[in-house]
Amino acid sequence: MAKQHRILTGQVAAITGAARGIGRATAQAFLREGMKVAIGDLDLATAQQTAKELGHGTVAFELDVTQRESVKAFLDGAEAQLGPIDVLVNNAGIMQVGHTIWEEDDATTQRMIDINVNGVMHGVKEIVPRFLARGRGHVVNVASTAGKGGFPGGGTYCGTKHYVVGLTEALRAELRGTGVEVSCVMPVVVNTELASGLTETRGVKTVQPDDVAGEIVSALQDLRFDVFVPRSVAGITKVMNLLPRNGREGLSRALKADQVLMQIDEGKRAAYELRASKSDPSLEAGDPTRQLTP
């Protein structure tokens, strides 16, 4: 007997970083399933325009994921307008690449940690108690296949995505038996502004935001934890894990995966890099590195 998909119609979803890219595509996919959607983004004007274009009652909020109180306000606002949240997609993230670890300026390093690491953690800490109180809910954390390896030119980015993968695996174990579900989304390079100017690998082609959105919908319907995009990457990852280190690194070089984040077209990435540099309003370029703990 074929496995029955879960029905998503009527569920409420909140998506961070959803004014554009994967977040926007996911919102659109959710709406096609009959879900109600709230999108949050630091760029409120674009988020409001996106909500207007998507229609179907989509609501937009200003959101700075680096600030936990902003995440709480986003979730509170979404629930006030749409009802209790059933799905949270922690999608907001930035990728500033093209430099070795020691050449990357401290402000850039801190910005990726604040957004990619703390932003996901803030979402988890704010939504999970709500889900536990209801005995249901689904946390979707958007990581990357970069969270399964380390690639030159993107040391900090890879590190932050390793964090998301590890956090999500721990969260799954902690929530086992509670009725709250967890998924970890790990796409390859996605054709968004974030990936502009990157080198393509051999064998694994760039995917589209709609591809990622479709797999997120599938993960909600089938309760899948590991969400590789494309799905074929799951097999590649298994093979890589079976190889000794020299074999893994040799295969990575053969696939040109070691060039993706280092050999970039700076001209094509200029607009994105500028926007990413302003994506944490509390940390301006050139600020001294802030400590994460006292």
Do 99 and 85 touch, CB atoms closer than 8 A? no
**How far apart, in whole angstroms, are the C-alpha atoms of residue 1 and residue 291?**
54
Do 52 and 78 touch, CB atoms closer than 8 A? no
Return phi, psi of residue 116, to 5°: -75, -35
| CA neighbor of 93 nearest in space, from 66, 70, 73 | 66
Where residue 110 falls (left for φ over 0; alpha for ψ -120 to 50; beta otherwise) is alpha
SS3 of 60, please? strand
Burial (CB < 10 A; 0-12, 13-18, 19+), residue 9, is: exposed
Active site amino acids: 157
**Half-sphere exposure in the Cβ direction for 142 (13 Å, CA):** 31
